[in-house]
Amino acid sequence: MLRRTDRRTFTVQVVAGLYMTVLVPFDGSPLSSAALEKARSFASLTDAALVAITVIPDDDEYARERGWITRGEPFDTEAIDAGMRERVDAIAPEAEFYSQVVDSDEPTATATTNVVRTIRQAASDVDASVIVVGTENAGSVTTPLSSVGGPLSSDQHYDVYLVRHAEGGGFETN
């Protein structure tokens, strides 16, 4: 069972028989929703814990680009957190949900760099065995600046499953 200890640290309590954790970066996009659906099926089939994380850069333009807020709507991290939590619950109510607000004022890092760094830290904190990422850029020669799939897949501490299509369901049991 996972327990939120503060905005930056996650701890894992060992539960007998639970040996695997599936982590899903979730931004509410159709691809991240599809990734969460597939991860839910996978976690169910493997008796794994399912964890979803939303990383919220402290950047209103980033939030607008992802449809978290509309033009003129105030940037409110608590409202974004509540909205993402609601969307995760609608897809995978059994998932543990965490959000992390990250500072976007770091001069040498982009918002995407901060998102990737935070997801990697969360993967370590929850001892993720698998990360399921929704990305339309899988297999591309170049990695777009806004993609988290490429940088996450370079870490050798966990497997990375890429979901490239928003349509379709989870894993079949037959």
Q: What is the Cα Rg of the chain in Å?
A: 15
Tens digits of residue pLDDT in 1-52: 333 434 333 434 444 444 789 999 999 999 999 999 999 999 999 889 999 9
Asked whether the beta carbons of 9 and 126 are under 8 A apart, the reply is no
**Contact of 13 with 2, CB cutoff 8 Å:** yes
Domain boundaries, the chain: 18-163
pTM, entire model: 0.76
Question: Residue holding tokens 């539960």?
Answer: 15
| 59 in Cβ contact with 111 (< 8 Å) | yes
21-25 β-sheet, strand order? 96-102, 49-57, 21-25, 130-134, 159-163
Q: CATH classification of 18-163 is 3.40.50.620, yes or no?
A: yes
Residue scoring higher pLDDT (135 or 36): 36
Q: Identify the pLDDT of residue 109.
A: 66
**Quick one: tokens of 115?**
């998102």
pLDDT surpasses 80 at 115: yes
